[in-house]
Chain A
Amino acid sequence: MLTSLVLANLKLIYRDRQAAFWAIAFPLIFLLIFGLFNFNDLNPVDVTVIDHAGNELSESLIADLDSIELLELEAGTIEADARQDVVDGESKYLLIIPEGLDPTTNPGDLTLIYDESEFQTNQLVEELIRRFLDGANLRLQDVEPLLSLTSQGIQGRPVEYFDFLLPGLIGMGVMTFSIIGMGTTIAQYRQQRILRRIQATPLKVRTFFIAQVLAWLMLSLLQTAIIMTAGTIIFDAVIYGNYFWVLPLVILANLTFLNLGFIVGSLSKSVQAASGLGNLLTMPMMFFSGVFFPADSLPSIMSSVVKYLPLTPLLEALRGVLLDAQPLWDFPVQLALLVGWVVVTAVIAVKTFKFE
């Protein structure tokens, strides 16, 4: 009986185009959109330099600055034109070395002019030049630096944004599919009195819902497999860890999502209402639980709330096992949170359920 019911449910969900959209297309669309951006390579920044001093010191400063990989220096001639270029957005940075600069007789003030709209790189460029000048100052005063930094770049695993995004999309896909899918299904079954009709048969209602959950679990694993395959093959995301750990994680977290879907279905009078309520539940988690960006980049008050949402521990554990190749048991806190959510939502689901 259970097998027939699970099969019937699989057929029903498979034949529902809207469900298929939420399951597969929705996460893949995100994959596609984010694939168009390039978050990894920082392009060199063009800096126009006007050298009013034109002496040995200024030339050596320019030569040293030019050796910084991130900066691409370009000599300018007329200050007024160069300033206008920044205003017009034709160049981003203008560095002006004042006339008669001399370390002993005429200590000078260099000016950096930049376009304020370029807020991402402004800080970086300004800081870079400031540091550079600090170093130059010390050398010019013949002071031996007391503290120095020797940095050793160790070639770690090059985790790119895409690799980071893929586990996020797996979690998001499973969450939206299950909450909205299960929610609308239950609402529809109640609205059309299908639950009542089932209740009129000798079948135990429990069996009906177990079959329902099994079908959705199976589909969410299929969905995960499709997203992972598409992500790695088409979009070149790299997975370092053990694929296997994804299985128990997705199942565990999905039990919570299915419970939430069940609650949504019980609280909604119509399919449309269930869809709306489902979105209301999934949207904040999608943005705050770290699907697209790390959750800890949020303001601390928010991130301390957000880390308890059911999607957050799933994503943390998924990234841990997939990106850092850690075993599942390295995440006891996340696992405890996930189990806790399953229990709490199951209790609420049972309490809110009604046949009509």
Chain B
Amino acid sequence: MSDAVIEVRNLVKRFGSLTAVDGVSFTVERGEVFGILGPNGAGKTTMLECIEGLQKADAGEALVLDMNALQHPEKVKDRVGVQLQASAYFERLTLTEILNLFGKMYSRHVEPEKLLEMVELSDKANAVVKVLSGGQKQRFTLAASLVNDPEVVFLDEPTTGLDPQARRNVWELIERMHDEGRTIVLTTHYMEEAQHLCGRVAVMDSGAIVALDSPAELIKSLPTPLHIRLSTSVPVPMEELEGLPGVQQPVTLDGDHYVLPSVSAEATLPALLQWLSGKGAAPLHLEVISATLEDVFLELTGKELRD
């Protein structure tokens, strides 16, 4: 029997004539880091807010820890941790004061000192939110999302607007939360983030999930999950390269490099090397480039992830 902490079935949310979430279904298992990847406006936040009990879905079902988010949103809210996109906290309260205040809103709560220690903000315990840097604020919102020691944590675009250093920092914290045994659901429009953090990724476009699998499997499912870049000591005929095992059309020329789309490295590489030595051509440069979730998104929707 599976240990599902979130079950979403045919969830629909409309705003007037716009259908923001269009019949979405998926399951999240205990202990997963589950990513929802999609461009701005794909419906990620709306879907997340329906599951968190923040918005009322028009149809379908969302079960969180066996509680119905549509019928008993307050029960769900008490048990999950939430970080909202671009949400701030009372500017003139200290971090400890805010964590104490929010802790009181839940049926159980963690001491502020422990939370601040975890996100390395212990030295800012008596500072007000106003004086924190962007990265510190984001770390604080992560601490605040854990104030009720939740089993499930929802993070809406946790690293949007952060510099690379602060982003790495937040990733580490999310991994730490995961190591503590929490289930994490996060939305992002950064494919590196999904690839780095998530066990499984739901690719979302125009309110629907168009693919759902681990990042590796999603990439493998591409017709050409990798490219081989090659330069040789003497020119070789391109149409013969296209005939090698596993190589897909079209082979292209990028400067003095041949670019070969391939279905798998193990099928193509040995045959390629053998064929090259038969031609008397030495490989000067040989590089195998894996496709990314970006390519998956482009393949599935015909759109770029970032506009």
We find that the number of chain B residues with CB closer than 8 angstroms to chain A is 26
Q: Which residues of B contact A204 (CB under 8 A)?
A: 74
Q: Which residues of A contact B90 (CB under 8 A)?
A: 8, 12, 194
Of all chain B residues, the one with the shortest Cβ separation from A15 is: B92
A202→B77 contact, CB < 8 A: yes
Q: Which residues of A contact B84 (CB under 8 A)?
A: 193, 196-197, 200
CA of A113 to CA of B105 in the docked complex: distance in angstroms? 78
Residue among A188, A193, A196, A200 with most chain B CB within 10 A: A200
B101→A200 contact, CB < 8 A: no
CA of A194 to CA of B78 in the docked complex: distance in angstroms? 18
B88→A202 contact, CB < 8 A: no
B105→A8 contact, CB < 8 A: no
Residue from the list B92, B97, B105 in contact with A16, Cβ < 8 A: B92
Residue from the list B54, B86, B92, B105 in contact with A1, Cβ < 8 A: B105
B87→A196 contact, CB < 8 A: yes
CA of A204 to CA of B106 in the docked complex: distance in angstroms? 11
Instruction: Say if the beta carbon of B114 comes within 8 Å of chain A.
Output: no
Residue from the list B75, B82, B88, B105 in contact with A203, Cβ < 8 A: B105
Residue from the list A8, A16, A192 in contact with B101, Cβ < 8 A: A8
Of all chain B residues, the one with the shortest Cβ separation from A355 is: B54
Q: Which residues of B contact A197 (CB under 8 A)?
A: 82, 84, 87-89
Given contacts A4-B101, A202-B106, A203-B105, contact A12 B74 (CB under 8 A): no
CB distance from B62 to the nearest CB of A (A): 15
Instruction: Say if the beta carbon of A11 comes within 8 Å of chain B.
Output: yes
Instruction: Say if the beta carbon of A199 comes within 8 Å of chain B.
Output: yes
A200→B93 contact, CB < 8 A: no
Q: Which residues of B contact A203 (CB under 8 A)?
A: 105
CA of A218 to CA of B89 in the docked complex: distance in angstroms? 23
Given contacts A193-B84, A194-B87, A196-B87, contact A201 B92 (CB under 8 A): no
Instruction: Say if the beta carbon of A5 comes within 8 Å of chain B.
Output: yes
Within 8 A of A (CB), among B70-129: 74-75, 77-78, 82, 84-93, 97, 100-102, 104-107, 128
B52→A8 contact, CB < 8 A: no
B89→A201 contact, CB < 8 A: no
Closest 5 CB pairs of A and B: A192-B88, A193-B87, A15-B92, A203-B105, A202-B78
- A residues with a Cβ closer than 8 A to B are 1, 4-5, 8, 11-12, 15-16, 188, 192-194, 196-197, 199-204
